Amino acid sequence: MDAESLQAAALTSKAWPYEEARKLLKRWPNGKPGGSPMIFETGYGPSGLPHIGTFNEVARTTFVRNAYHELTGGAQTRLIAFSDDMDGLRKVPDNVPNQALLAEHLGKPLTRIPDPFGTHESFAHHNNAMLRSFLDRFGFDYEFLSATDCYTRGRFDDVIRQVLRNWAGVMDVMLPTLREERRQTYSPVLPVSPASGRVLQVPVEVVDAEAGTIAFADEDGAPIEQSALGGMAKLQWKVDWAARWVALGVDYEMAGKDLIDSVVQSGRIARVLGGRPPEGFNYEMFLDEAGEKISKSKGNGLSLDEWLRYGSEESLAFYIYREPKRAKSLHIGVIPRAVDEYLQFRERYAEQPLEQKLGNPVHHIHAGDVPGNKLPLTYGLLLNLVSLPGVGDKETAWRFVQRYAPGTSPESDPELNELIGLAVNYARDFVAPGLQRRAPTEIEEAALRDLDAELARLAPDTPGDEIQNHVFEVGKQHFGKERLREWFGVLYETLLGSSQGPRMGSFIALYGIDNSRRLIGEALGSG
């Protein structure tokens, strides 16, 4: 597709990344002054390790960034991955070693706390390295920024002075949002104690806004007068968020629905500081299998590694692309469908007109460079195959696959090889343990015998579509057209031990006619 046609179609596309990117066209109709790049940002709290929510936010922001490139014909952009590593550690995480070591340093900035893993300069440096490795693993294009570096190297000094100059205005935004007791101690600026090194939550007095000087009582009650600049203080997080937008010139940042009020308050503070809040939207939160909000403290979420054990990276990107403003379940059970739907959308892409291409999730997942290869099997079909006794490993599964799709191999078809491995993992952990074939009824036995007779007349290499026709005909004879769904349920429950299943013609072609007849024989023998 040529750039001019792409740009014209993107200007009217209803796909959400284009709708978001068009906000930036309205924000800067003639582009940013001096040809400056459009700044996208995602924030990260380094008191924990990167997780699926981190992937979610960076991927969605990247979708919008790529859409903006297409809308503008390639205007310059930057994506900042910002680590809030100047925050004081409030509690010791459950999933790290040497917890007693961390407990000794509660309240200190994360970059001034020893690394419990013993591999980096500080706890934050360790987790920042994990973040960068995580983002690199998925090929994200980003620039990493550390809050500690921004504070200590003076990058935030001017905006801190703005906070001090506009103290009353900032307090007017924040105080109405706080409980009465919190109002008594609230300060937009959090000084770092010169004695303990902790980030203090204490009342602060502005001594000299231009010089950046503040006064406060230290932990032992001693009166302290010191600079708020150069890393000797940090800002309360909502003020910090606004100040970061202003200091870095952020144009776009999205956030979860749970932060709607915070976005509003930080936006108001940004204006008080003489800046402009970024564009963005609030995405809905993920739910667990029971429909409850996923929480790290509850441990009811799905980890990134868990998804990637059973599904591809592209299937995860596909799942999070769709309907970002609707609450969606995120649990193991959604993976097989996400994998197959991704592959279906990818298969359609090449034949779609340009307008439909831009609405296809795979266009955004692959930044317009969509793979054109088609896999000969679905994930669901492979799941049914590798769930059967004696087929639960890649090597055995490949023997069936190569007979079904001659010319394929692990070496020449790495994506198919990966898909088989993912299906083997899923079947072994979640499908095979719960399979239980039921005995057929007398009426069902008669239908199965007729199906067996039909299969006996077919050549071993009969295509799946032709086999499917025979399955349909047997079903019509015994159940009638209106009850064909019931017939397929009989096949799934008596042959596969599941309430759901694949297109039976394709499955029989994959598993083999003789093997499928053996399954029928076993079912009839149990009746």
Residue ranges of the annotated binding site for ATP are 296
Read off the tokens for 97: 């070693």
Query: Cα(212)–Cα(210) distance, rounded to whole angstroms?
Result: 5
Name every residue whose Cβ is closer than 8 Å to that of residue 130 and which is 6 or more positions away in sequence. Answer: 49, 50
Q: Is 520 helix (H, G, I), strand (E, B) or coil?
A: helix
Residues 86/128, Cβ–Cβ less than 8 Å:
no
Query: Cα(406)–Cα(475) distance, rounded to whole angstroms?
Result: 30
* Burial class for 512, CB neighbours closer than 10 Å (0-12, 13-18, 19+): middle
Q: What's phi and psi for 82, nearest 5 deg?
A: -105, 125
Query: Cα(397)–Cα(395) distance, rounded to whole angstroms?
Result: 5
Query: Cα(428)–Cα(431) distance, rounded to whole angstroms?
Result: 6
Separation of first and last alpha carbons in the chain: 59
Query: Cα(83)–Cα(144) distance, rounded to whole angstroms?
Result: 8
DSSP secondary structure, 15-52, as one string: SHHHHHHHHHHHHSTT-SGGGPPEEEEEEE-TTS---H
Query: Cα(231)–Cα(166) distance, rounded to whole angstroms?
Result: 20
Residues that constitute the known binding site? 296
